[in-house]
Structure 1
Amino acid sequence: MDQAPGSPDRPQAAHGLPGCYRHPGRETGISCTRCERPICPECMVSASVGFQCPECVRTGSGTGHAPSASRPRTIAGAELTSGDPRLVTKILLGVNAAVFLAVLADQTLADRLNLIGLAFDPRIREVVGVADGEWYRLLTSVFLHQQVWHIAFNMLGLWWLGGPLEAALGRVRYLALYLLSGLAGSALVYLLAEPNQGALGASGAIWGLLGATAVLLRRLEYDLRPVIALLALNLLFTFTMPGISWEAHVGGLVGGTVIAFGMVHAPRGRRTLVQAGVCAVVLLVSVAAIVLRTQSLLT
């Protein structure tokens, strides 16, 4: 059971680091700069110096420090919103599940939405693919799954990684991270894979969240060894197991890492401008790769 906000106790987590005073099971190395209670990424509110807990922000009281800005913000500068902290994550889960059920009902849907560079479809006797003008495949494939194990694995990753990132970045920034990571993964698949090789799944976006998690934990001065071990293990599977599109994983990882770095390290005075600029750079690089590949396939 969670301790009530305002408790002076400092709950101790299992591995020695203190636990968040609002979520005792979550280890953290960050404390509120006003009341000095330990706080996790979901509870952190960006202040002029360091981070504050929601209780201190709401009451404007503390240990003699001046009140912070009237509108509390996350570590990435997003205004704190009321309501479900995992709203966007749940919507993404719902969209993936809905597309999966639609594919079960109509098996031809997967062929119309998956990522194909350029290929001749003998069933409809037409050329199909991104190079033939079907640009939507670059994003629809990110929400497309055919096997139960595939969607289950990706959605577990989305749930575990997405919630803390959504709380730390804010809904709009988090959604941009997810979509641009997925697009970056699709762009690298399109650029490097055989044009008639189909690809689908949310793996590129999930790897973007994994890279963003590493960046966030480093920014908060957490122990990165568990995340590095997870990354290394997943990279091993990516490059040794057959049937896995390594291009989607690498593209999503690089895109998500770059975006997250820009979001959590942007200078306070130009935060929104820098964050939008980093997202624009990832988008432009992805578009450039797509245009380059399209030209090479059509010439």
Structure 2
Amino acid sequence: MDQAPGSPQGPEEQRPPDAQSLPVCYRHPDRETGVRCTRCERPICPECMVSASVGFQCPECVRGGSGTGHAPTAAQPRTIAGGTVVADPRLLTKILIGINVAVFIAVQVRPSLLDHLVLLGGWPPAPYKATTGVAAGEWYRMVTSMFAHQAVWHIGFNMLSLWWLGGPLEAALGRVRYLALYFVSGLAGSALTYLLASPTQETLGASGAIFGLFGATAVLMRRLNYDMRPILALLVINLIFTFGWGNIAWQAHIGGLVAGVITGYAMVHAPRERRALIQYGTCAVVLVVVVVLTLIRTAQLS
């Protein structure tokens, strides 16, 4: 039962008369905060803060649905990374999950389709000239393999991770930056796999992009001064599975993780006056590295 302000408290809730406690976020009652929305004056935690022209606003006021009677301000509120605040902060995450599920269903209906989607270095292997695979000019495999899954457990685990990690990241970064992070991480995982794995090894799955989201989430939590132990523990567990479980392309995991940390750091730490330049410039630099690694490996297999 909720307790009204000023009502008697039980023994376990009594505090010394001189104790000073901060108000709690109206959306996250377990988090104390000293910041209030500049429009409705409700307390908000760092996750709910949306940068405005003056101070911070809560998500409801940004969407104009707080019921306080305040008119929207002229300045467009931004996320912590400078992205636009939208009504559905998980839209792209839902679309990405939908694409992965649609491809999975298509593969179940037509299994031969998987042969054209997986990441394959080149077949036949050197010293013969590759007629199939990335080395043969099928560059699209570096992207299609990011959405291809064969086993139910594989897509199930990846999509749960995408929903758990992707939603908060999309809300914090904004749609465009979130999508850039996802594809940069996935491509980095594909490039490292192409470079280091056997050219005849077929790899598939969204794990490279997922590990990129892991890395960016850790950077974001550090930026917001959140307790990082849960995300670090989960990351360690996943790395143990990566190197301790057979038939896992560890190259994709490591490549995605490194790209996610680098890109995520640029997203949330870029100074406001040069924010877009640093953020998208970092994405461009990572993509250049991806292209260089791909060209080096192609030259080796040609």
Name the counterpart of 2:44.
38
Aligned length in residues: 271
Name the counterpart of 1:54.
59
State the one-letter code of the partner of 1:244. I
Name the counterpart of 1:75.
80
Change (3 A) 1:28 1:131: farther
Matches within 5 A, 1:140-179: 140-179=144-183
Change (3 A) 1:214 1:178: same
Instruction: Report how far residue 112 of structure 1 moved.
Output: 1.0
2:231, 2:22 → 1: CA distance?
17
Check whether the contact 1:181–1:252 (CA below 8 A) recurs between aligned residues: yes
Q: Which has the larger radius of gyration?
A: 2
Name the counterpart of 2:205.
201
State the one-letter code of the partner of 1:240. G
Deviations 1:11-47 (A, max 9, x none): xxxxx9986412447x576844744713352x32124
Change (3 A) 1:30 1:176: farther
SS at match of 2:238: helix
1:56, 1:267 → 2: CA distance?
25
Check whether the contact 2:149–2:204 (CA below 8 A) recurs between aligned residues: yes
Name the counterpart of 2:106.
102
State the one-letter code of the partner of 2:94. K
Gaps of 5+ in 2: 6-20, 65-71
Matched, 1:241 2:272: no
Matches within 5 A, 1:253-264: 253-264=257-268
Segment of structure 1 superposing worse, 273-282 or 68-77: 68-77
1:214 pairs with one of 177, 193, 218: 218
Deviations 1:116-172 (A, max 9, x none): 001139xxxx82100000000001000000000000000000000010001010111
Instruction: Please give the root-mean-square deviation of Cα atoms over the aligned residues, in Å.
Output: 2.6
Change (3 A) 1:96 1:52: same
State the one-letter code of the partner of 1:242. G
Instruction: Report how far residue 221 of structure 1 moved.
Output: 0.6
Deviations 1:205-258 (A, max 9, x none): 000011110011011010111111111111111111101110000000011111
SS at match of 1:196: coil
Instruction: Report how far residue 68 of structure 1 moved.
Output: 8.1
Instruction: Report how far residue 192 of structure 1 moved.
Output: 0.4
State the one-letter code of the partner of 1:37. P
Matched, 1:115 2:116: no
Matched, 1:288 2:292: yes
2:32, 2:205 → 1: CA distance?
33
Name the counterpart of 1:22.
27
Check whether the contact 1:29–1:222 (CA below 8 A) recurs between aligned residues: no
Check whether the contact 2:46–2:224 (CA below 8 A) recurs between aligned residues: no
SS at match of 1:127: coil
1:23, 1:167 → 2: CA distance?
16
Change (3 A) 1:17 1:109: farther
1:186, 1:92 → 2: CA distance?
18
Change (3 A) 1:227 1:117: same
Segment of structure 1 superposing worse, 68-77 or 222-231: 68-77
Matched, 1:275 2:275: no
2:92, 2:196 → 1: CA distance?
31
